[in-house]
Amino acid sequence: MTDQHSLKIYNTLSGKKEEFKPITPGYAGMYVCGPTVYSDVHLGNCRTFCSFDMIYRYLLHIGYKVRYVRNITDVGHLTDDGEDRMAKGAKVQQLEPMEVAQRYTVGFHDMMRIFNTLPPSIEPRATGHIPEQIEMVQQILDNGLAYERNGSVYFDVPKFATQQPGVYGSVSGRILDDLYAETRELKSQEEKNHPADFAIWMKARPQDIMVWNSPWSVGFPGWHLECSAMSTKYLGKTFDIHGGGNDLKFPHHENEVAQNHGACGCHPANYWLHTNMLLLNGKKMSKSDGNTITPTELFTGDSEHTSKAYSPMAVRFFMLMAHYRSTLDITDEALLAAEKGFLKIMETNRLLQSMQVNARDFDGSETESDRAILGLVKDAYDGMNDDFNTAIAIAALNEIGSYVHKLANKQMDASEVSPWVIERIKTVFSTFLFDIFGLRDETTSGADSSTIEGLMSLILEIRGQARAQKDFSTSDKIRDALAEVGITVKDGKEGVSWSK
């Protein structure tokens, strides 16, 4: 157990590391913006959720009772042309919107299990909190920071910026004029008082299919509103940590801040944490340029960007090797290095856990090696307490591992490391690898079976979708790729089965 008061977090609001002081001592409330479930979760999302899973795990480890809330966006997330992503997905796939939401929510949960993330304490859906969102719209109207036009309700950004100077722009760190210039050209611009104003309730058009009754019109909430309403409901008007990807700073998080001030008169979170973006071979991922890769393609090796398949835990370890706030470049060389590092540290742990500490006379004094090893344990914790720097912690564990291998290979005499120090690092290794980093040892039979089952469920679901769309080329490609690694897929009257 480490001193929880030594934890420092980089706060996007202040632009510097701050000592973590929760509102209620011993407790931590954390809200993380979850996925919009209109398509498969992408790799950038996976990095964000794995990063906050690590943060959640570490807060638990150092003694906090944590309420972790991560939402599901199943309504209201607009594209730049004003179309709801959920409705768009339903139209393309000729399904009910909730059918789309359920399919991709299940897929998201499957992927999170494959990456071995812990479930959040609460996982609210936007569609399950329409009354709370309507209530928040009314509060903002009552406080004079929104206006109604033709059944839609818009947040008055310039008025808010005048009343609360310096607040709008505090998350993204940009001045107001720049934010105005970046305002997206969404629908109904002619109804707004100012281009920067954003919808908190939108009147439905004839083609909209996810709609609810409200005092202003039959319509649906703005995308930004859901997180303000749900974080307030489950964590209070002001809570400890709000997290998400870097791409959410503007407009999503800026507008959340504005809404909470507009409704409650206070800032929603004391600490804002953002994960950085993923690159692929040094460039931004882009489907149109073919510079993209999915989690499934990483796991199966079915991508022109990789030379082989990588296990979920090797990919998770790859993510942990970089600080969550740093840009992470996916290359085949980097993945190979991460896989090698993952296998090495797991082998070190197995070697360490199998060491027998002989009972012998011990005078209680620390050896030079004891002090060095315990210093490395401190380095690992210091790294985690320095804004969750997993890269430093991994480096410290690898340094400890060098002592483990020297002892195992008889390059060091057993007397050079005290028995209690061996027991200490056994606990430290196990705790960091499995409890904090959230890794699994994929060489053990139970974990390997669980991983394969999860992967196969996901792969066969993708193959089934391809067959349903009569994309037999992709379906056959998946079957043949599995056959090459010794897995046989059979299509029968009762469904699809597989065997090794």
Tens of each residue's pLDDT in the chain, 500 residues:
444 458 999 999 999 999 999 999 999 999 999 998 888 899 999 999 999 999 999 999 999 999 999 999 987 655 444 566 666 666 677 777 788 889 899 999 999 999 999 999 999 999 999 999 999 999 999 999 999 999 999 999 999 999 999 999 999 988 777 777 765 544 456 789 998 999 999 999 888 888 999 999 999 999 899 999 999 999 999 999 999 999 999 999 999 999 999 999 999 999 999 999 999 999 998 777 888 999 999 999 999 999 999 999 999 999 999 999 999 999 999 999 999 999 999 999 999 999 987 655 455 678 999 999 999 999 999 999 999 999 999 999 999 999 999 999 889 998 899 999 999 999 999 999 999 999 999 865 444 555 566 677 778 878 878 787 778 888 888 888 887 776 878 776 556 767 66
For residues 452, 454, 456, 460, the Cα torsion angle rounded to the nearest 10 degrees is: 180
- Measure the CA–CA gap between 482 and 474, rounded to whole angstroms: 12
- Measure the CA–CA gap between 195 and 98, rounded to whole angstroms: 32
pLDDT of residue 122: 98
- Closest-CA residue to 241 (of 272, 266, 275): 272
- Asked if 112 and 72 count as a contact pair (C-beta separation under 8 A), the reply is no
- Measure the CA–CA gap between 83 and 327, rounded to whole angstroms: 30
- Which residues, at least 6 apart from 419, have a Cβ–Cβ distance to it below 8 Å? 357, 358, 359, 360, 362
- Measure the CA–CA gap between 407 and 223, rounded to whole angstroms: 57
Q: Which helix (H) or strand (E) holds 279?
A: strand 278-280
Q: Which amino acid is at 386?
A: D
How many DSSP H helices and E strands does the chain contain?
16, 16
Q: What is the DSSP letter of 78?
A: B
- Measure the CA–CA gap between 184 and 182, rounded to whole angstroms: 6
- Measure the CA–CA gap between 326 and 305, rounded to whole angstroms: 22
- Measure the CA–CA gap between 303 and 295, rounded to whole angstroms: 10
- Which residues, at least 6 apart from 352, have a Cβ–Cβ distance to it below 8 Å? 401, 404, 422, 425, 426, 429
pLDDT of residue 445: 45
- Asked if 482 and 353 count as a contact pair (C-beta separation under 8 A), the reply is no
- Closest-CA residue to 269 (of 229, 241, 308, 299): 241
Q: What is the DSSP letter of 365?
A: P
Residues in the chain: 500
- Measure the CA–CA gap between 294 and 302, rounded to whole angstroms: 10
Q: Taken in order 94, 95, 96, 98, is the CA torsion positive or negative?
A: negative
- Closest-CA residue to 197 (of 225, 240, 257, 156): 156
Q: At 215, is the secondary structure helix, strand, or coil?
A: coil
The predicted model scores a pTM of 0.87
